Structure 1
Amino acid sequence: MALAVASLRAEAVWLDVPQSGTKCVSEEIQSNVVVLADYSIMYESHPYSHPTIAVKVTSPYGNTLHHSENATVGQFAFTTAEAGNYLACFWIDSAEKGSGVSVNLDWKIGFATKDWDAIAKKEKIEGVELELRKLEVAVQAIHQNLIYLKEREAQMRTVSEKTNSRVAWFSILSLGVCIAVSILQLWHLQGFFRKKKLI
C-alpha cells in the first residue's frame, strides 16, 4: 500500500552528504507520473564555507534525466517514461574541505505536484468544491496505483510459477543424474572387485 500513497506524497528530506562520497535517494514510481523536486544546501552547519554539490537523476534504465554541477540550489522536473526506481544522487564537487554538507530535498510526486491555487483561480472554485476536486484527483491516483500494483502482482506470480517449475525440473534432473552416477559406480565397483577376485 506504500506505493499507492506514493503518488500523493510530497516529501522534504535532509541528506547529509559526506565530503568524499555520494548520497542517493530512490523512489519507486510508475510510468506517466509527474515528478518535481527542489534541492538546496543548508548553510546553517557551514556558516563560513560555501561548498557546491553535483546532482544526477537517473531513470530505472540508467538514462540521465537531470545533471547539474557546482550548484547550491536547483530543481528538476520530469514525467516518468517507465516504471521502476528513480535515483537522485548528490555529491560535493567543490574544492573546499570540510565534514560534508546537508542538502534539503523537496521531492513531489503525482498529485502533490499540482498547483491548486492556480487551478482554483483558473476554474473559479474554492472551499468545499476545491477540496472535493483534490479528493477526486487523489482517488484517481490511488485507483491507478492499485491497478499498477495488481499488474505487478500478476507479473510476479507468473515469474514465481515459472521459477517454481524450473526448480522442480532441475531437481528431477539432478535426482536422475545422481541415480545414474550411483548405478555406474556400483557397476564399476562390482567389476573392480571381480577383477581382484574379492567377490
Structure 2
Amino acid sequence: MAARRLGSPASRWLRPSALLFLVASALLSAPSPARALRFDLESGHTKCVSDEIKVNAMAVGKYHIVGPDPNFPDAQLPESHRISLRVTSPYGNNMHYAENVQSGHFAFTAAEAGDYLACFWAPDHKPPVTIEFEFDWRSGVSAKDYPSVAKKGKVDMMELELKKLEETIRNIHEEMFYLREREEEMQDLNRRTNSRMAWLGFLSLGICLSVAGLQLWHLKTFFERKKLL
C-alpha cells in the first residue's frame, strides 16, 4: 500500500519567506500606536529614556515643552520652562546635546548596537516648578518619513506601501540575524561559564582532599607522639 502524503498542496508550498511576508503584512495592517511620550519633570531633577538600536539603523527624535495652561497651548512659555537633553550611545559617545531649550530635534545613524540613552534635566528653581514636555523617539523603519519620500519622488500610494513592506521585511530579516548572533553569544557564554564551574569544582574537590589528607597526617603524628599507635 502506497504511503499517503500529509498536508495540502498549499501547505507544501508555504515557505519561510511567505510566512515572513504574512507577518510583515499583519504588522503593517495593524494600527500603529502613538510613539510620543509625555513626562512631568521637576526642576533640579533628571529623567532618562533608553531605546535599543541596531547598527546602521536610523534614529530621529523631537521634543518640546507643553504649555502650563492647556486652554492656551500656543501661549508664550515662561523663562523657567527650559530643559536640557543629552543622547549618548552604549559606549558613552554624545549623539546629541542641547542646553536650556524649549524644543528641538535630532537625527543620527547608529554606529554601535545597544541601548541608547536620552536624559532630560531642568535647572533648579526656587520655588521649584514642574515642566511638562513631550518626547517622540523613533528608530528603524518607523524613523523614515515616507510621506516626504512619496512627495519628493512622486510615488503613488501602492508603491509607497510596497516600500514600507520591503523595509519592514528587511528589518525583520536583520532582526532575525541579530537575534541569532545574540543567541550564539549567549551559548558561548554558557559554555565558558560551565567550563569555569567545572574547573572550580575540581579545584574545590582537590582542596578538600588536600585538607583531609593534612588532617589525617596531623592526627597520625599526634597519636604517634603520644605513643597511642
The TM tier, using the shorter chain, reads 0.7 to 0.9
CA RMSD of aligned residues (A): 2.4
Which is bigger in relative contact order (C-alpha 8 A, separation at least 6)?
1
| Aligned residue type for 2:100 | N
Deviation at 1:195, TM superposition (A): 2.2
Cα deviation code 1:7-63 (max 9, x no counterpart): x99721122323333211111111101110001122337986732111111100011
| Matched-pair contact (CA < 8 Å) for 2:44–2:123 | no
**Cα deviation code 1:121-166 (max 9, x no counterpart):** 2332222222122111111111111111111111111111111111
User: CA–CA distance in 2 between the matches of 1:112 and 1:33?
Assistant: 11
Q: Deviations over 1:65-86 (max 9, x none)?
A: 1111111111111110010110
- Provide the identity percentage: 45
Higher strand share: 1
Distance 1:41 1:193 in 2: 85
Which deviates the most, 39-48 or 179-188?
39-48
Q: Normalising by structure 1, report the TM-score.
A: 0.86
Q: When the two structures are superposed, what TM-score results if normalisation uses the length of structure 2?
A: 0.76
Instruction: Determine which structure has more spread, i.e. the larger CA radius of gyration.
Output: 2
CA–CA separation in structure 1 for the residues paired with 2:33 and 2:190: 31
Aligned to 2:62: 38
Q: Unaligned regions of 5+ residues in structure 1, if any?
A: none
The one-letter code of the counterpart of 2:152 is: K
Tell me how many residue pairs correspond in the alignment: 193
In structure 1, how many angstroms separate the alpha carbons of the residues matched to 2:34 and 2:138?
4
Moved over 4 A (4+): 45-49
How far apart, CA to CA, are the structure 1 residues paired with 2:152 and 2:82?
39
SS at match of 2:47: strand
Is residue 62 of structure 1 aligned with residue 86 of structure 2?
Answer: no
Secondary structure of 2:86's match? strand
Instruction: Give unmatched runs, 5+ long, in structure 2.
Output: 1-26, 71-76
